[in-house]
Amino acid sequence: MGEISSVVGFPEDSYGSVKRVAVFWEWSQPLREKRGGPLSILDFGCGTGRGVSFPFARAGDVVHGVDEHALAIEHARRHPVSPNLTFGTETADDLRERNARFDVIVCSEVLEHLPDPARCLRDLRGLIVDDGLLFVTVPNGGGAYEVLTSVKKTLDRLGVNRLLDDVRGLAKRVAGRAPHPAADGADDAPFFEHGGHVQFFRLPRLRALFAETGWDLLETRGRTLLCGPYADFWVAWLSLHTLNNALADRLPPRLAADWMFCARPGH
């Protein structure tokens, strides 16, 4: 993980949030060496910025985070890291109009919320330099997160989750332990609801989507094996983060709960 390890600012979680930063850093390092210095990075759909924007800015890159949710951006701006980190509510069209171009574009946990993910990928294609890199993460439409979320909705309707919450609360009080803090890394960081998932991707569709929107897919990695309702508690409770990350790398990619992709502009 190199020098990025000292600037992440939060512990690992069942979503592989630290792993995401480490993998993005690894993927971007050859381009950083080619440039001989910091990269310009667009964190598209950055939320409060804690997951990607803040660590890369602390490491020295020039980062601009954008999100359509004004409250998330307002919160991000209240936690300045350095002058090389900025935030805004611009759209891809806004950035294109001012001729913005970036070495790296991060689009993490965004496409599954969009009715037209292909349009988003085409828009990002117009914001990257010729030898730049695109990093995308999306949940597996048939993976643990989506399956467990569906189970939770069913159990909510049946009233079972109230009992499970009582059991977890009792276990924490008896053991005097609690799961690790959220990967957002800040106790005062609120959660901003981005709406439910409207896309449930499988690998063949994603690979086709990159190709048809002008991207050459370079690498695919699983992020974690288990995450989502119920799994989050037990992965943290039993400190299974390292194993959870490792299994996603070693098992077939179709079993991962979430995928990470590295792509470059097609020519």
pLDDT in tens, 36-64: 999 999 999 999 999 999 999 999 999 99
In a domain, 164, yes or no: no
Arithmetic mean of pLDDT, 253-265 = 97
Confidence category of residue 139, pLDDT binned at 50, 70, 90: very high
* Residue % of the chain over a pLDDT of 90: 76
In a domain, 71, yes or no: yes
> Residue ranges of the alpha helices (H) in the chain?
17-35, 53-58, 70-77, 92-97, 117-125, 144-158, 160-175, 203-212, 231-237, 241-250
Query: CATH number, domain at 58?
Result: 3.40.50.150
Contact 69, 44 (CB under 8 A): no
pTM of this structure: 0.88
In a domain, 163, yes or no: no
Task: Report how far residue 35's alpha carbon sits from residue 24's, in angstroms, rounded to the nearest whole number.
Answer: 16
Domain limits at 220?
Answer: 2-143+182-265
Residue 149 corresponds to which tokens in the numbers above? 């979320």
In a domain, 151, yes or no: no
**175 class by beta-carbon count within 10 Å (0-12 exposed, 13-18 middle, 19+ buried):** exposed
Query: What was the pLDDT predicted at 24?
Result: 98
Query: What was the pLDDT predicted at 154?
Result: 87
In a domain, 210, yes or no: yes
Axis-axis angle for helices 144-158, 160-175 (nearest 10): 110
In a domain, 150, yes or no: no
Confidence category of residue 74, pLDDT binned at 50, 70, 90: very high
Number of structural domains the chain divides into? 1
In a domain, 168, yes or no: no
In a domain, 104, yes or no: yes
DSSP type of residue 37: S
